Structure 1
């Protein structure tokens, strides 16, 4: 009987993977962990009336990019704006964005376009970060998590080991503002 209890103890102890136990403790370059960031977010959103906007940006090595701006008022998504563009050089030699497609959604139409980042609250980004990106096999992927200066999540995702072009899977918040 003692052997089976001993065996059961080690089975339970080692059956929980490192990913399951430590995903929410991951710390970014900012020095803020996922758990600390989520707590900071909860406090700040209450102080600021749960009204904010954030921008998710992507730019390919080939010069094409997109930007989605999500606006939230009192905890409800009020607007989603999208821009798909190509970066080119102007006649003066400066890098400029040339619009290819854009839209603005409000009210019932939010989420009706297939292009652009999903209309998610920051709370949902924290959930997605933990369940979809920090839960990836660390042996096969480089995992990324970071926060801005205030401690709010700014990126979460992973890159498969060995991938070289446009490999990041996740999200990067390029701008955040309280409204």
Structure 2
């Protein structure tokens, strides 16, 4: 009896450890860049300190139907100072090239930042890292394809997931199409 109780306790501990390890492995997910979430976050902390937490980034979305949006967030000294939004439709011009036709746009500054419901939330890159790990990288990988990637500097560029079998506009998460230090 004493041996079987120890054996059950041993199995319980192994099960507990294997579950917590898989949760911790989420920050080791690596994208096409070859940089893991945890390494990217470390690189980000160093880079933002070197650049006085002053930067801008653009979050983009484009639908298969040709509609899309871009929101540019500007951060100065670690505080969101501006949010610019553009909603557009892609149409073919006379030369059969895709051209964006503006449907709606706005620019917010100061206390009006966040006053419009359309557009990407006015978040710091730090908040995007936290959202990535707490909302998108935790989904069931048996039911979803999970995505994480960085730009050339190692800064997060996309994070999200797509439900397996979904075909059109299924990505849940964010894509950063442009990033620059100011």
TM (norm. structure 2) is 0.94
In 1, distance between residues paired with 2:141 and 2:50? Answer: 36
1:71 CA displacement: 0.3
Gaps of 5+ in 2: none
Residue by residue, what CA displacement relative to the aligned partner does 1:78-112 show, whole Å, maximum 9, x if unpaired? 00110000000112322110000001111111111
In 2, distance between residues paired with 1:12 and 1:122? Answer: 37
In 2, distance between residues paired with 1:37 and 1:10? Answer: 35
For 2:64, what is the secondary structure of its paired residue? coil
Structure 2 residue 48 is the aligned partner of structure 1 residue 45: yes
Of the three residues 103, 106, 113, the one matched with 1:103 is 106
Aligned partner of 2:11 in structure 1 is: 10
**Range moving further from structure 2, 14-23 or 152-161:** 14-23
1:48-63 correspondence to structure 2 within 5 Å: 48-63=51-66
Of the three residues 5, 24, 27, the one matched with 1:24 is 27
TM (norm. structure 1) is 0.95
1:18 CA displacement: 5.7
1:14 CA displacement: 2.0
Gaps of 5+ in 1: none
For 1:132, what is the secondary structure of its paired residue? helix
**Range moving further from structure 2, 71-80 or 86-95:** 86-95
For 1:139, what is the secondary structure of its paired residue? coil
Task: Give every structure 1 segment of 4 or more consecutive aligned residues whose post-TM-superposition deviation is greater than 4 Å.
Answer: none
Contact 1:53 1:72 (8 Å CA) reproduced: yes
In 1, distance between residues paired with 2:49 and 2:79? Answer: 14
1:6 CA displacement: 3.6
Of the three residues 78, 92, 111, the one matched with 2:95 is 92
In 2, distance between residues paired with 1:70 and 1:61? Answer: 24
For 2:175, what is the secondary structure of its paired residue? strand
Cα RMSD (Å) = 1.3
Aligned partner of 1:144 in structure 2 is: 147
In 1, distance between residues paired with 2:135 and 2:119? Answer: 18
| Residues paired across the two proteins, number | 179
